[in-house]
């Protein structure tokens, strides 16, 4: 009897949940609990951390999980590391569903940086109008470059003051579209976009908008995650589950 743990929080995970429900397989969709009101899912949901590798191992045993699908965001590296360790320890098969990174094309003006600290360093220099599109968890680090006029896009309205003296907040949950992001960059007169190389469609609009407007992008490359089986499509995961 298949019982799936789907580590979610992305567009791909949502598509995966639809396929699992359609196939009539038993599964649980797991959110970290980062946002106030995460989207509903067609399968059971759980919200919150497991309590590290040990907590995840105990969960796998207690719930009789037979397959784990890691469909988390490429920057959710800690969750992916924990899944590799816990699944190996419990001998539960693990499959990652991961989108390919974006690759710069004609007209793209990208500067690649290895992590958000390097993105902060890349913003040294005279004041600019910066679209900081990397969410809430790493904003504090940019207080080291207070000279800029920031536009922040967050999933939930910030509680308390922001660590940036000049920042405007747009509260919006993606997926985003190119027309909307082009208008946003124009209205803000953005001079540089800071983005994570998330890949996929949900966050790519700002990259296409920056290309169209000739705006440079500081592109944060993905963190390393341990070796594991990876596929790019829901159907490949379904073949693995039912094969
Ligand atoms: C809680 C679940 C879907 C899935 C929506 C995808 C697409 C839209 C684009 C910008 C970039 C960013 C951010 C982003 C995108 C999708 C997908 C994606 C980027 C939700 C969600 C959860 C989260 C967590 C949130 C992080 C933040 C990152 C905002 C739900 C909406 C910037 C990543 O406030 C916080 O603490 C937010 C934290 C992790 C990164 C950060 O470090 O702040 N995602 N995003 C998941 C959980 O609790 O387990 O609330 O319904 C999911 C999605 N966000 O089709 O419905 O699949 O990537 N999410 C980035 O890529 O740079 C926004 O603004 O252009
Ligand atoms: P992370 O740094 O890799 O994980 C930190 C801790 O959060 C994990 O050790 C785990 O806690 C908990 N956690 C993370 N994802 C979880 C999940 N799906 N279910 C249960 N617990 C989870 O994670 P993150 O980067 O903060 O991402 C959190 C969530 O947001 C994930 O679902 C991810 O897919 C989604 N998301 C992240 C980004 C991003 O830019 N990072 C973008 C879009 C969506 P314990 O150790 O206690 O188990």
Ligand 2 neighbour 11 (Cβ under 6 A): no
Q: Which two tokens stand for residue 190?
A: 């953005």
Identify the three-state secondary structure at position 149: strand
Q: Where does the pLDDT of residue 76 fall: very low under 50, low under 70, confident under 90, or very high at 90 and above? A: very high
- For β-strands 26-31 and 94-97, DSSP reports them as unpaired
User: Can you tell me the distance from the alpha carbon of 33 to that of 47, in angstroms, rounded to the nearest whole number?
Assistant: 5
Alpha helices in the chain (DSSP H): 11-22, 52-63, 77-90, 116-122, 178-188, 205-213, 234-242
Return the percentage of the chain with pLDDT > 70, whole number.
100
Question: Each residue of 203-218: pLDDT tens digit?
Answer: 999 999 999 999 999 9
Nearest ligand to the CA atom of 151: 1
Q: Where does the pLDDT of residue 136 fall: very low under 50, low under 70, confident under 90, or very high at 90 and above? A: very high
Q: Where does the pLDDT of residue 40 fall: very low under 50, low under 70, confident under 90, or very high at 90 and above? A: very high
User: Can you tell me the distance from the alpha carbon of 135 to that of 158, in angstroms, rounded to the nearest whole number?
Assistant: 11
- Please say if the pLDDT value at position 114 is more than 90: yes
Q: Where does the pLDDT of residue 11 fall: very low under 50, low under 70, confident under 90, or very high at 90 and above? A: very high
Q: Which two tokens stand for residue 81?
A: 């590391």
Ligand 1 neighbour 188 (Cβ under 6 A): no
Ligand 2 neighbour 116 (Cβ under 6 A): no
Which one of 100, 131, 155 would you pick to mutate in the ligand 1 pocket, going by the greatest count of ligand atoms within 8 A of its CB?
155
pLDDT for the residue 232: 97
CB 38 within 8 A of CB 47: yes
Please give the mean pLDDT across all residues of the chain. 97
Mean pLDDT of 121-128: 98
Which one of 29, 31, 45, 76 would you pick to mutate in the ligand 2 pocket, going by the greatest count of ligand atoms within 8 A of its CB?
76
Report all structural domains of the chain as residue ranges with CATH numbers, in order of start: 3-99+224-242 (3.40.50.720), 110-220 (3.40.50.720)
User: Could you give the strand order of the β-sheet that contains 26-31, starting from the edge strand earlier in sequence?
Assistant: 44-47, 26-31, 3-7, 67-70, 94-97, 230-231
pLDDT for the residue 6: 98
pLDDT for the residue 87: 98
**pTM of the model as a whole:** 0.96
Of ligand 1's listed atoms, the one at least distance from the Cα of 12 is: 57
- Please say if the pLDDT value at position 94 is more than 90: yes
CB 216 within 8 A of CB 111: yes
User: Residue whose CA is closest, atom 64 of ligand 1?
Assistant: 133
Per-residue exposure over 140-173, b if at least 16 CB sit within 10 Å of its own CB, e if not: ebbeebeebbbbbbbeeeeeeebebeebeeeeee
- Please say if the pLDDT value at position 38 is more than 90: yes
Q: Please write down the long-range contacts of 82-86, taking CB distance under 8 Å and 24 or more positions apart.
A: 82/50, 82/52, 82/53, 82/56, 83/7, 83/56, 83/228, 84/225, 84/226, 84/227, 84/228, 85/53, 86/53, 86/56, 86/57, 86/60
- Please say if the pLDDT value at position 148 is more than 90: yes
pLDDT for the residue 243: 83
- Please say if the pLDDT value at position 141 is more than 90: yes
No. of helices (H) and no. of strands (E), the chain: 7, 12
Task: Tell me the CA–centroid distance for residue 155 and ligand 1, in Å.
Answer: 7
Residue 65, preceding peptide bond in cis (omega within 30° of 0): no
Q: Where does the pLDDT of residue 163 fall: very low under 50, low under 70, confident under 90, or very high at 90 and above? A: very high
CB atoms within 10 A of CB 95: 20
Task: Tell me the CA–centroid distance for residue 77 and ligand 2, in Å.
Answer: 8
Ligand 1 neighbour 46 (Cβ under 6 A): no
Mean pLDDT of 83-90: 98
């Amino acid at each position: 009897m298949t019982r799936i743990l789907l580590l979610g929080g992305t567009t791909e995970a949502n598509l995966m949940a639809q396929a699992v429900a359609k196939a009539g397989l038993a599964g649980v969709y797991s959110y970290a609990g980062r946002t106030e009101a995460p989207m509903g899912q067609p399968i059971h949901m759980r919200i919150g951390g497991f309590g590290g590798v040990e907590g995840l191992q105990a969960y796998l045993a207690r719930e009789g999980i037979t397959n784990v699908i890691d469909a988390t965001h490429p920057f959710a590296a800690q969750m992916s590391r924990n899944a590799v360790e816990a699944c190996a320890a419990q001998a539960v098969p693990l499959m990652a569903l991961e989108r390919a990174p974006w690759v710069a094309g004609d007209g793209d003006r990208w500067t690649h940086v290895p992590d958000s600290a390097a993105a902060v360093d890349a913003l040294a220099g005279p004041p600019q109008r910066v679209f900081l599109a990397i969410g809430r968890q790493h904003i504090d680090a940019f207080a080291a470059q207070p000279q800029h006029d920031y536009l922040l896009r967050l999933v939930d309205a910030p509680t308390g003051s922001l660590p940036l003296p000049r920042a405007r907040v747009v509260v919006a949950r993606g997926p985003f579209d190119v027309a909307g992001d082009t208008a946003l960059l124009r209205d803000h007169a953005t001079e540089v976009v800071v983005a994570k190389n998330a890949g996929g469609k949900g966050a790519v609009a700002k990259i296409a908008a920056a290309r169209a407007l000739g705006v440079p992008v500081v592109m944060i490359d993905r963190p390393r995650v341990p070796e594991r089986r990876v596929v790019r499509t829901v159907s490949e995961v379904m073949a693995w589950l039912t094969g």
